[in-house]
């Protein structure tokens, strides 16, 4: 690579970074296959579990609202948790869940390269998924123009990010070293505190709920649950998801928001269990009403109650077998910024826009060309046995993606993960793109992209990518 190519690559990398569904008839027929959830760990699955506390010990700011928020109180620790799975043929995959707001492409790449070198995992075998918690620390390369930070704060973010990466790598090593025979079971519950924030005014929600009136808009209130038991039949891990922003709180407290409380509740209820949370496609969902610690605890309890209800009933066994696929999808921008449009923003825009415009102009001043597309939108698929398909989507995917892929691949058999591998930006469906508004409108600059808006084919491109990885992951070898 020439030095110019390296510079362009680095620049593009930075831009990239900074830059109701019901149970189907088939599923009902399958109900008679449900078995009591006590296995013998002899079906061929192995799993390794590990965890690390990732609460910062420095004054690094809290992420997600674009303001200076130093930690004044720790409500509870935040974590990275690891689930390593191995099938009878020796195929391994690793999932890392964390209580962070957003993993940048820089961090994802760094983690992947290290895991690839040390454990020979390919991209399809590593899934990094973060809860999008807005009461956790900032991370390197995420929303770089969003915060009024100085060199000192940027240094703290770098130091915390380095330490966090090291902890995650060691946790993965531990999980891969601790593989043990397990039985896996799946099930699904429901929890209804997520509100479609595009279709309901936050200020009107309490009154509507008090009056028993229904709220508007699509939601995905399902709570997928995977339980893992060792050969003695003891529950050792739980993986569960929900589609909703962890934005109940926005103050100066460190915690994992409602997913943090839900995980702690489950770990207290089932001693020795590691409870792992993933955010499904919750970009347009908010926990409403919000802004009090009592509400945050309440939503955490509602979610952990939903999980508990699932695991206290017979669950469906997941047969052994693991296949995986990954690809980057190219997402086109609607319009790439120009010098003429950037210059007025350096003084006349919001603080975020000014910082962004100055950074883009710096790139252009160097004679570099801003890309007309984002080339690194990650999609992945894991097929677990015959019964369960995981689809991982990058960034903040709106609920339409979850509903679409569950419709296409089977409700109850398909889990769609949002916030996977890289933060990217809001990812509207075609419907949301046409409607506009925050999640569908011109806000890519906030995420550091050299453009304001995705092109109208964003859902088509992602769906094509997802279809391809699912096809690959389901191909018989
Ligand atoms: Zn968000």
- Per domain, the residue ranges of the chain are 3-328+374-474, 337-370
Question: 192: which 2 tokens?
Answer: 């209804």
286 contact partners, CB below 8 Å, separation of at least 6: 194, 195, 197, 202, 244, 245, 247
Tell me the per-residue pLDDT of 172-209, one tens digit each, with 9 for 90 and over: 999 999 999 999 999 999 999 999 999 999 999 999 99
Q: Identify the pLDDT of residue 43.
A: 82
What distance in angstroms lies between residue 396's CA and the mean position of ligand 1's atoms? 6
Question: Token match 């924030």: residue?
Answer: 197
Q: Which of 99, 306, 337, 28 is nearest to 193 (CA)?
A: 306
Ligand 1 centre from 101 Cα, in Å?
8
d(CA 23, CA 224): 12
Give the distance (Å) from ligand 1 centre to CA of residue 245. Answer: 6
Residue 34 binned pLDDT confidence (cut-offs 50, 70, 90): very low
Helical residues (DSSP H) of 137-222, grouped into ranges: 151-177, 205-210
pLDDT digits (tens, 9 = 90+) for 204-263: 999 999 999 999 999 999 999 999 999 999 999 999 999 999 999 999 999 999 999 999
Ion ligand 1 residue ranges (Cβ < 5 Å)? 396
In this prediction, residue 5 carries a pLDDT of: 39
Q: What is the pLDDT of residues 128-157, one digit of tens each?
A: 999 999 999 999 999 989 999 999 999 999
Strands of the 388-393 sheet, one edge to the other: 322-332, 373-384, 388-393, 414-417
Distance 227 CA to ligand 1 centre (A): 28
Distance CA(454)–CA(333), nearest Å, equals 4
The pLDDT of residue 12 is above 50: no
Please, are residues 379 and 466 in contact by the beta-carbon 8 Å criterion? Answer: yes
CB 387 within 8 A of CB 34: no
Ligand 1 centroid–CA 104 distance in Å is: 14
- CA 129 / ligand 1 centre spacing (Å): 14
246 Cα: distance to centroid of ligand 1 (angstroms): 8
CA of 414 to the centre of ligand 1 (A): 23
Whole-number Å distance, alpha carbon 7 to ligand 1 midpoint, is 30
What are the start-end ranges of the H helices in 282-331? 293-311
């Amino acid at each position: 690579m020439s030095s110019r190519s390296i510079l362009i690559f680095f620049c593009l990398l930075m831009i990239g970074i900074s830059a109701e569904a019901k149970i189907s008839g088939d599923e009902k027929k399958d109900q008679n296959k449900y078995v009591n959830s006590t296995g013998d760990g002899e079906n061929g699955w192995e799993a390794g579990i590990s965890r690390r506390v990732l609460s910062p010990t420095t004054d690094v700011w809290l992420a997600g609202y674009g303001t200076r928020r130093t930690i004044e109180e720790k409500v509870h620790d935040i974590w990275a948790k690891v689930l390593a799975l191995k099938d009878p043929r020796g195929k391994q995959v690793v999932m890392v869940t964390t209580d962070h707001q957003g993993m940048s492409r820089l961090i994802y790449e760094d983690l992947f390269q290290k895991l690839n070198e040390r454990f020979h995992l390919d991209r399809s075998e590593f899934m990094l998924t973060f809860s999008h918690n807005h009461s956790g620390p900032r991370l390197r390369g995420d929303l770089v123009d969003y915060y009024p930070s100085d060199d000192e704060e940027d240094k703290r973010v770098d130091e915390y990010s380095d330490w966090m990466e090291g902890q995650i790598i060691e946790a993965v090593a531990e999980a891969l070293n601790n593989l043990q025979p397990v039985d896996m079971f799946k099930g699904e519950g429901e929890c209804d505190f997520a509100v479609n924030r595009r279709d309901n005014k936050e200020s009107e929600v309490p009154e509507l709920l008090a009056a028993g009136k229904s709220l508007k808009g699509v939601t995905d209130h399902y709570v997928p649950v995977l339980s893992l038991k060792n050969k003695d039949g003891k529950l050792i891990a739980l993986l569960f998801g929900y589609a909703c922003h962890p934005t109940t709180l926005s103050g100066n407290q460190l915690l994992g928001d409602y997913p943090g409380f839900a995980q702690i509740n489950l770990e207290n209820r089932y001693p020795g269990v590691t409870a792992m949370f993933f955010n499904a496609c919750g970009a347009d969902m908010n926990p409403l009403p919000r802004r009090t610690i009592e509400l945050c605890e309440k939503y955490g309890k509602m979610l952990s109650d939903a999980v508990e209800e699932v695991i206290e009933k017979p669950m469906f066994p997941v047969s052994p077998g693991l296949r995986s696929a990954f690809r980057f999808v190219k997402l086109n921008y609607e319009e790439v910024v120009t010098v003429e449009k950037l210059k007025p923003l350096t003084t006349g825009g919001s603080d975020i826009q000014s910082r962004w415009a100055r950074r883009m102009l710096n790139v252009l001043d160097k004679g570099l060309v801003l890309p007309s597309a984002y080339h690194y939108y990650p999609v992945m698929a894991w097929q677990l046995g015959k019964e369960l398909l995981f689809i991982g989507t990058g960034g903040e995917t709106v609920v339409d993606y979850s509903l679409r892929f569950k419709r296409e691949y089977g409700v109850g058999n398909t889990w769609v993960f949002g916030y996977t591998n890289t933060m990217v930006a809001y990812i509207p469906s075609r419907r949301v793109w046409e409607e506009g508004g925050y999640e569908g409108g011109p806000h890519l600059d906030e995420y550091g992209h050299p453009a304001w808006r995705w092109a109208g084919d964003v859902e088509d491109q992602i769906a094509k990518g997802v279809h391809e990885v699912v096809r690959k992951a389901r191909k018989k070898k």
